[in-house]
Chains A and B, each alone.
Chain A
Amino acid sequence: MLTADDKKLILQIWEKVLGHQEDFGAEALERMFATYPQTKTYFPHFDLQHGSAQVKGHGKKVAAALVEAANHIDDIAGALSKLSDLHAQKLRVDPVNFKLLGQCFLVVVAIHHPSVLTPEVHASLDKFLCAVGNVLTAKYR
């Protein structure tokens, strides 16, 4: 459950991410594919080499969804309802993978903004990413 303090910290860190969110999204994906090769099974149709335009494009989409969630932090389920439908009906990405992408997103933030990712911010951001993952898998069954 996201507390008022969580929301404050999330919006704080989001200010740092905005402007770079597409790069962060792409880097998180690249790291996910490198660290957890099994995640590549969802992208057989992609060129997954470093610098891939497809990965960049997809990173942009992922980042946009996270921004949307952050902008509607009091109703993430509402904001991501269509994406939730998409994941349930079409994409059917196994729920475990959202944690893996979340971990990689945290790594990217840690690399680019280590001083901003205090333990408290880390906790809130992790909660936020979990909440997004939960919303995206909420309609699976």
Chain B
Amino acid sequence: MVHWTAEEKQLITSLWGKVNVEECGAEALARLLIVYPWTQRFFSSFGNLSSPTAIIGNPKVRAHGRKVLTSFGEAVKNLDNIKATYAKLSELHCEKLHVDPENFRLLGDILIIVLASHFARDFTPACQFAWQKLVGVVAHALARKYH
């Protein structure tokens, strides 16, 4: 089980409370597809991903980004039980979606940049540490059921 200090939990939950999940989710997924274009391989059904403008404006990208970040919220709500929280999603990503877990790490790094750009100086080094730890734990949990 992951050990969280009281301070880490506080940094995570208080920042999360201020996150616009729809906006941040859409932005994070769009940035993933733009900064690491090979990740577009999973989204051939999403229509036009031919340019950064197309990706940012793509309604399927926005909707899926929101879905992904909403799911991330489950980790924030269940910091002491992230493994169990993502067990089914892990199976899904392995067996149905066939997503290389490295992509979870890439998305985690992108999310950190999005949070930094939104929260500026409030995204202190301690905050960055807690959140980088969290995205790592989520990535690990999502990879855990792979076989």
Chain A interfacial positions (CB closer than 8 Å to B): 30-31, 34-36, 103-104, 106-107, 110-112, 114, 117-120, 122-123, 126
Please give me the 7 A-B residue pairs with the lowest Cβ-Cβ distance, nearest first.
A34-B125, A114-B117, A110-B116, A110-B117, A119-B34, A123-B35, A107-B116
From B15-23, B64-72, B85-93, B126-134, give the one contacting chain A: B126-134
Decide if A35 touches B118 in the complex (CB within 8 Å).
no
Chain B hits for A30, CB < 8 A: 125
Kindly count the residue-residue contacts between A and B in the assembled complex, taking CB atoms under 8 Å apart.
Answer: 57
B52 interface hit (Cβ, 8 Å): yes
Given contacts A103-B109, A106-B113, A107-B123, contact A119 B128 (CB under 8 A): no
In the bound complex, CA of A103 to CA of B128 (Å):
11
SS class, residues of chain B in contact with chain A: helix
- Chain B residues within an 8 Å CB radius of A35: 125, 128-129, 132
Contact A120 B52 (CB under 8 A): yes
B30, CB-defined interface residue at 8 Å: yes
- Judged by a CB distance under 8 angstroms, whether B96 is at the interface is no
Q: Flag if A111 contacts B125 (CB, 8 Å).
A: no
